[in-house]
Amino acid sequence: MKLIFAIVNNDDSNFVQSALTQEGFSATKLSTTGGFLKSGNTTFIIGVDDDKVDDIISIIAKHSKKRQHIVPTAATYGTGMYSSIPIEVTVGGATVFVTDVTRFEKL
């Protein structure tokens, strides 16, 4: 048995959850915040048999889209003055961790 942690952008989380449910997979959904852009994410926790891991990852990949965002960043020029320079960053997609489960009980 495996435990999957999938961190998905909030914009995609409803699509991922619907697709997982439609395919018969249960998931616990947590609201989380990313550290870099401080943007909202959803972390799904999914317990699944070993042979279903690739199915779960395929569903998540299909419904988690990467997109470009322009964000302001502060820059200093050594004069004590700051300027806001916009940069383009990639957001979205998914970060997935798969771990072994040594024991599982549903009480």
The CA R_g of the chain, rounded to the nearest whole Å, is 18
Higher pLDDT, 34 or 27: 27
Predicted confidence at residue 45, as pLDDT, reads: 98
Residue 82 has pLDDT above 70, yes or no: no
**Contacts (Cβ under 8 Å, ≥6 apart) of 25:** 46, 48, 52, 55, 56, 59
Q: What domains are there in the chain, each with its CATH number?
A: 2-100 (3.30.70.120)
**Whole-angstrom distance, CA of residue 1 vs CA of residue 50:** 5
SS3 79: coil
pLDDT at 19: 97
pLDDT digits (tens, 9 = 90+) for 49-76: 999 999 999 999 999 987 776 777 766 5
Position 21 scores a pLDDT of 96
